Amino acid sequence: MTEALKNSVVMCFDKAYGPAACVALTSLLLNSGSTDFQIDLLQTGTDPEVEQALAKLAVTFNRVVNQHVIDEHILDDFHVSNHISHTAYLRFFIPDYVHAAKALYLDCDLIVQCDVGELFAIDLAVDELVAGVEDLTGSKHAKGQLGIPDAYINSGVLLLNVERWRQEKIPQRLAAYYSENPNKITWHDQCVINGALSGKKQLLDKRFNLLLNDLLSGAIQAKDFSESTFKGIFHFNSTVKPWHSWCNPKYKVWVLGS
């Protein structure tokens, strides 16, 4: 068993997103060398090349990497569409597999350009179960349907108190909300988290999850973002991914450099 009080960075993915997860992890480890955390990976499948890359990352950066291979049938009751897979819902079950006091969940389609120690240093209040960045574009399409009074956060970067999630049976609450409110859910796992945990969320600074869709929609002005000085987490939260051949080159330059 892993050390109970250590912070954990958590990622969830299937075989298709394994290579992207390795890239995201590399960016995380390159920029967070002074911060102590373990890595917990919730996977529905494995690939030999990805396994080799993960092992190399663990040795190169001297990190504990725990791999949890999950039976994907536990996700059969959850709906998927387009570029969203069943693994999106694995974040609901973090307390069932991760033994840590605090967890930072990260999507695979992002690049970390800051030390995540800044995030682990954030304390959640007694009445807060999760912290995330407001999703300005997603909110326009989903918040009204949910009928929530607080901000609608993006589920790609989440800070959570694992023990409190376990004590308050949050995985079961999220699953129940999903089954009881099918007509309210627009953006899958994200709407479930926002609806079920309404009033229990803390907002993070937008730089900890800068959303491509917010830049594309104009919710965040491109002139206010500098790829040369950005210190945060850039999230490709759209059908446009940097590894796609049809990805507009300027989106890659914003984060990855020319």
Residue from 161, 64, 77, 86 nearest 119 by CA: 161
Superfamily (CATH H level) for 8-256: Spore Coat Polysaccharide Biosynthesis Protein SpsA; Chain A (3.90.550.10)
Residue from 195, 203, 192 nearest 159 by CA: 203
Mode of pairing for the β-strands spanning 233-235 and 8-13: unpaired
Arithmetic mean of pLDDT over the chain:
88
> Does the pLDDT of residue 238 top 70, yes or no?
yes
Asked which of 141-150, 170-179, 235-244 is least confident by mean pLDDT, the reply is 235-244
- List Cβ neighbours of 92 (8 Å cut-off, separation of 6 or more): 170, 171, 174, 175, 189, 192
> Does the pLDDT of residue 245 top 80, yes or no?
no
> Does the pLDDT of residue 256 top 70, yes or no?
no
Confidence of residue 32 (pLDDT cuts 50, 70, 90): very high
- Per-residue pLDDT tens for 90-137? 999 999 999 999 999 999 999 999 999 999 999 999 889 999 999 998
Confidence of residue 246 (pLDDT cuts 50, 70, 90): low
Asked which of 45-49, 67-71, 139-143, 226-230 is least confident by mean pLDDT, the reply is 226-230
- Per-residue pLDDT tens for 60-97? 999 999 999 998 777 777 876 665 677 889 999 999 99
Interatomic CA distance for residues 213 and 226, integer angstroms: 16
pTM of the prediction?
0.91
Of residues 227 and 5, the one with the higher pLDDT is 227
> Does the pLDDT of residue 258 top 50, yes or no?
no
- Cβ–Cβ under 8 Å, residues 100 and 7: yes
Confidence of residue 3 (pLDDT cuts 50, 70, 90): very low
- Per-residue pLDDT tens for 195-205? 999 999 999 99
The residue-averaged pLDDT of 137-155 equals 93
> Does the pLDDT of residue 2 top 50, yes or no?
no
Helix (H, G, I), strand (E, B) or coil at 67: strand
A 10 A CB-CB count for 215 gives 19
Alpha-carbon distance values, 200 to 129, 130, 164, 189 (Å)? 5, 7, 12, 16
Residue from 116, 122, 169, 168 nearest 9 by CA: 116
Look up residue 127 and give its DSSP letter: T
